[in-house]
Structure 1
Amino acid sequence: MSTTSQPNCSHISHFLLSGIPFLEDFNLWLGILLISMYIVAVMGNSLILYIIRVDQGLHEPMYIFLFMLSMLDLLISTNIMPRMLGIFWTDDREIPFGNCLTQMFFIQFLAALESGILVAMAVDRYVAICHPLRYSSILTSERISKMSALIVGRGALVMVPIPLITNRLKEWKSNVLSHSYCLHQEIMKLACEDITVNIIYGLFIVLSVMGIDSLFISISYVLIIKTVSSLEDASMKAFSTCTAHICAVLVYYIPLIGISIIHRLKNPTAPNLHILFGNVYLLVSPVINPLIYGIKTKQIRDGFKKVYSKIIH
C-alpha cells in the first residue's frame, strides 16, 4: 500500500476479512457450524423448490412467492459461504477491492429482493382473507409477473449506486473488516474521505426499501386482523394461514435491525458476540424459513413426507 499525503491513510487494493477474534483456535469448529447451517439451508430450500415445482396443486400465488423466497435464500447463503469457509478453514482473508464491492452489491440487492417478496406475500394473504372470492381474478399470472419485475427493478435501481459511490473513495484508514463478508455500513467507516453521500444514501435505502416494505406489511396485517375479527368461528382458521409468513417476516427483520444497531454501537459490551452475530445473521433466514414453512404449512409438510417416503423406499 502506498501512503498518501494524509497521515494514517493509504490507497488499498484489497480488504482483509475477519473471523472471530480470540476464537482462532476454534476456527475448525466454527467452520463446521457454518457449513452445517449452509447444508441445512441448501437442503431445506431445495426441497421446497422441488415440492412446489412438481406439485401442480401448489402452482398458485402463495407458493409461487414462497418459491421465489426459497430461491433468494439459496442465492444469499451461496453468495457468502465460500468466502466465509475460506477464512475459517484456510485462513484466506484477502478479498480484492472490486470483488468486495461486487459482493456488497449482491448482498444488499438480494436482501432488497427478499424484502420485496415478503411484501408480495403479505399482499397475497391480504387478498386471500379480505377478498377471497376475487383472489384468482386479482392475483393473476400477469400481475404476479409484473410484481416480480417491479421488485427486481426496484432492487437493482436502488442498490446499483452503492458500489459506485463507494468506489469513488480512494483513501482508507484501514483495510481490515470485522465480518466475513463486505457490508457497505462497515466499509464506509474505514474511509478517510467525506462519506456524507454514503451515509445519506444508506439512510435513503433503509427508508425507501426496508421502511416502506415494513409499512406495507404492517398495513396489510392491520387490514387482515380487522377482517378476521369479524369472521367469528372462522377467524382463527383464516388467520392461521398467515402464521408462517409472520414468522418469516420476523426472521428477516429482527436480524436486520440487530446488525444495524450493532454497527451504530461505538463500544459494544460483548464485541466477540456482536461479531459472531454479524457473521451468521445472513444465514438465519435461509436456515429457518424452510423449517417454518415445513412446520406451519400443511401442503409443504405433506410434500416433505412424500419426498421422504420416496427416499426410504
Structure 2
Amino acid sequence: MECLAAVSNIFTDSVRVYALPDRPIDEAEAQSITRQLLGPYGSYHVPVSIRCAPAGQYVDIQYGGGKSPDIVDFCEEQVGHRYLTIWGRHYNEGGLQQDEIWSEDVNEGPRRFCRYGFDEVRVIATGERPPVGEEEPWQRGSDGSWRLPVAGSYRTGNDRSADVGPSATLATEPSAPTPSALPTPTTPNYHGDALTSIDPPWLEPLADMHPGATLIEYRWRGRLVHRAREDDDDGWGLDWQHRGADDWDNCLDPDFLRFTGETDLLVAEEVYRRDEHDWQEYVRRYTR
C-alpha cells in the first residue's frame, strides 16, 4: 500500500513590510527579508512572490507560511526597529475561507476579516435583462454582457496555492497555469471562494451562483478582482467556480486606509461595524 505524506492546512500569507523614511528597501534587501520569513522550511505549497515599491517605500512578499513560524521572530526583532511597520493578509484553506488582515505583530497585533473593494460589476445574463437591480443604470456591451459602475465591497478568500511542493524557495518555478486560472498581481488563483457580506446588499444574489447569469465579474479600477462562472476544475467536468485576484490595491480595511492616507476609499461605518461583529463572533466560537 502506498503511504501518502500528511498535508497540513495551506496558508497563503501576503506580507507588506514598510521601510523607515531614510532607509528604502532595495531588491537585495527584499530578498533578504523573504529568506528570513521562509526560514529553513521554505514556502508551504505557495509560490514565492516579491514586489518592491518604485521608491523602496515597502516590499510585498507572498509565501505559504504553513511550516514557517519565522515571521514571529521577524515581527519581534525587526518591526519598529529596522523597519517601520508590517501589514499582513492571511488565508487558511482549511478555515473559514475568508482573508484576515493584521498589523504590527502577527500574534499580538490587531486582526480582523479583510474587506476588498470593487467599482464595476459585469455579468452575462441568461435572459434579456440584468439578473438583479433592473432599476440601476446597467450598460449593455457589444458582447451582450451587462456592466454597472457601482462602488461596493465584499469579504472573500484569496488562495494562491500551486504545484510548488512543501518547501518552495525564491528559485522554485510553478507549473504553467491552467486555462481556468485567474491572473493576479502575484501568482494565478486556481481555487476561489464565494463572496460574503457584500455591499451594497442588493448585490447579494450575485455573491455566488445565480440562475440568471452565466458569468459574474467584479473589477477594481479596470482590474478583474473576482470571477464566477462554470469551469472545468482539474478535469472533473464543468462546475460553478470562483476565482479571486484581490490584493493590497483594493484592500479597504479601515485602519490600512488610514495608515496609507487613502481615507476617501473608506466605506460606510455600518459595514465595518458588521465586519467587527462577525469577527468577534468568529473569535468567540473558535477560541473557547
TM-score in same-fold range (> 0.5)? no
Look at both structures and tell me which one has the larger radius of gyration over its CA atoms.
1
Higher fraction of strand: 2
Greater RCO (CA < 8 Å, at least 6 residues apart): 1
| TM-score (normalised: structure 1) | 0.22
Higher fraction of helix: 1
| TM-score (normalised: structure 2) | 0.23
